[in-house]
Amino acid sequence: MCEQAHNEPSNEIPTQDPDDLSLLDNLATAVITLDRHLKIRYLNPSAEILLEISDSRSKGTCISECFRNPGKMESFLYATLQTNQAITNRKTEVTLTNGTELTVDYTVTPLVEAAEEMLLLEIRLVDHLLRIDRDEAVRIHQATTREMIRGLAHEIKNPLGGIRGAAQLLAAELPQEDLADYTNIIIEETDRLRKLVDRLLGPNTLLQRRDTNIHEVLERVCTLIEVESNHQISIQRDYDPSIPDMQADRELLFQALLNIVRNAMQAVLDNAGSKKIALVTRTERQFTIGTIKHRLVVRIDVIDDGPGIPETVRQHLFYPMISGRAKGTGLGLSVALAIINQHQGLVEFASEPGNTVFSLLIPLKLTDDASS
């Protein structure tokens, strides 16, 4: 709770150098000045955006009224007033009054040279930086895992070729035709294993880049999914028609989207509730993927109302052979991720019962280091 003043607080704002205000107005960090009762005296534009309130409307408002969970921050503010020592708190979860959850670093500094007791509160939004760090760590881990799997798969394929060849030679030497059933089983099972290994290897070709309309690709996916589901699923489209053609390998992109939408189809078909999938396309500006900042990326959300992803598999969901379904192979999402990574994009997901969202973020234009 904000401390109540014994006298009516003055509505006058302490005089500040216009040049100082100009500098604060251009900072990306949210800057807030508070009086000793923790009432707001000034917000710079970054603070207005962060707190979703204007400087003029905020004056005289207690800082606690901007958050649903102000207790910890408020205690730090009062501690700074009492000790006259700056305090920094990192990676703190805060919730705005509208329910928006943020992860922030903030520093409280006493303004000892001010005409009255005041505090300077600096808030830096770190959600974006944490997401970049997390995505980069996941990309590196997945790349390492993929290389390990590829090495293992190649080691498996070599003896499989020898086994198949030996079975064919043996079949040619058998004295009785009915014994060929056994060699045929060896050959068929060897072929099945080779196909499984090929799927584990994932796409291993250079991208065939060309201008691609993402909505044409999505419509191909919808047509196939409707047939596979025997028209039991309602697919809702929410497309942004202003999205221009993107540079992509159309067939690989189709395969990635089909794998993810098919995963959603299987989730809703297994569920007793309504069977709906929503496809949403939007653009994101100045979006960082890995270490590269892209001017424009295409965002594709695949949303289903299935039972959600079990907590036990979420951390390893994109690894090969990991599946939340009893009959799942665990390869569809792994292959989709490898294809999106080839397009210098990323895949994110959020899931709870009745609402699972897979988001594909792909740069509109690929840089020259798009690899196989």
The predicted structure's pLDDT at residue 7 = 45
- Give the residue extent of every domain in the chain: 18-125, 131-201, 210-363
pLDDT under 70: residue ranges of the chain: 1-22, 113-115, 128-139, 141-143, 145-146, 199-205, 319-331, 368-372
**Which residue in 29, 61, 57 sits closest to 44, CA to CA?**
29
Position 15 scores a pLDDT of 47
Q: Which fold, 210-363? A: Heat Shock Protein 90 (3.30.565)
Query: What is the pLDDT at residue 257?
Result: 95
User: What's the rounded Cα separation, in Å, for the pair 85 and 285?
Assistant: 40
Q: For residue 199, which of 265, 164, 153 has the smallest C-alpha distance? A: 153
Q: Which residues pair with 105 in a beta bridge?
A: 124
pLDDT value for 21: 57
Chosen CATH of 18-125 out of 1.10.10.60, 3.40.30.10, 3.30.450.20, 3.20.20.80: 3.30.450.20
Listing DSSP states for 3-38 in one string gives PPPSSPPP-PPPP--HHHHHHHHT-SSEEEEEETT-
Q: Which residues of 313-334 are buried (b: 16+ CB within 10 A; e: fewer)?
A: eeeebbbbebbbeeebebbbbb
Q: Which regions of 223-275 does DSSP assign to beta strands (E)?
A: 234-238, 246-248
The whole-number pLDDT of residue 262 equals 92
pLDDT at 138: 67
- What pLDDT is stored for residue 8 in this prediction? 44
